[in-house]
Structure 1
């Protein structure tokens, strides 16, 4: 098989490399923080600052997602994960919000990791495209979070 260039592996995109660097910095920052309570408070501040720095549509959706998560699943601790707002249970990421601008996508994403246990049969969704967070979408997110957070 010849290598025509179209099947050539190009490596990580600049956005992916930046996300990995952000994650490394997040780990270093978390390791330097004091008590567990201090870490939690500062982690939430980091998430809110990240959301505040997003572009308009992404910021509005991330604010709504954050509000739903904190209201419906207060056990989930806000923290940054690869430069994205995320929510963890016992230190393990359950769900995250990825802005459209982060990877130059046409929509934002609400994703769930395997900790969420959204299992339903032999196949189930773990990521959802978001173009707007309406009251109906908030209800869907709340239902997913209730299942995900136990």
Structure 2
């Protein structure tokens, strides 16, 4: 570290270093808080949806471990550099027939002029269904 001046204040280099470290600590705290919120959002779901959300979470983490867990409008979600890539929308939130697994606009899924960004998901998904979604998550994560 650079020496402080005779007045006991920090040098410009030390101040920059302290600001950078504070930013790092805040980012780490935010990331931990976001991950906890993701876990909590899944834990609060009714049993059948929680099982499905846990399966989705395991698939996302396996396909793109570099994505950061967080929530998106209260839904379990996963992001890259703070931007949501994909999320699980439980049917109980809107009292609809099925849950969905969706990709947000930051997902790199562009394929010609038309591509799917949302999929109805059910507890009876096969391993092939999960593999198809995992391939899309890998692509979306960039």
Q: Which runs of 5+ in 2 are unaligned?
A: 1-24
Q: What residue in structure 2 maps to residue 143 of structure 1?
A: 135
Q: How far apart are the structure 2 equivalents of 1:131 and 1:37?
A: 34
Matched, 1:37 2:19: no
Q: What residue in structure 2 maps to residue 66 of structure 1?
A: 57
Q: What residue in structure 2 maps to residue 103 of structure 1?
A: 94
Deviation (angstroms), 1:134: 3.0
Q: Which runs of 5+ in 1 are unaligned?
A: 1-33
Which one has more relative contact order, counting CA pairs under 8 Å at least 6 apart? 1
Q: How far apart are the structure 2 equivalents of 1:54 and 1:78?
A: 17
Spell out, residue by residue over 1:9-59, the C-alpha distance to the aligned partner (whole angstroms, 9 max, x if none): xxxxxxxxxxxxxxxxxxxxxxxxx62112112211111111011012211
Q: What residue in structure 1 maps to residue 105 of structure 2?
A: 114
Q: How far apart are the structure 2 equivalents of 1:42 and 1:68?
A: 21
Spell out, residue by residue over 1:70-113, the C-alpha distance to the aligned partner (whole angstroms, 9 max, x if none): 12211211111101011111111111100010111100000001
Q: How far apart are the structure 2 equivalents of 1:66 and 1:106?
A: 21
Q: Please provide the CA RMSD for this pair.
A: 1.2
| Greater mean deviation of Cα atoms: 39-48 or 104-113 | 39-48
Report the TM-score, using the length of structure 1 for normalisation: 0.74
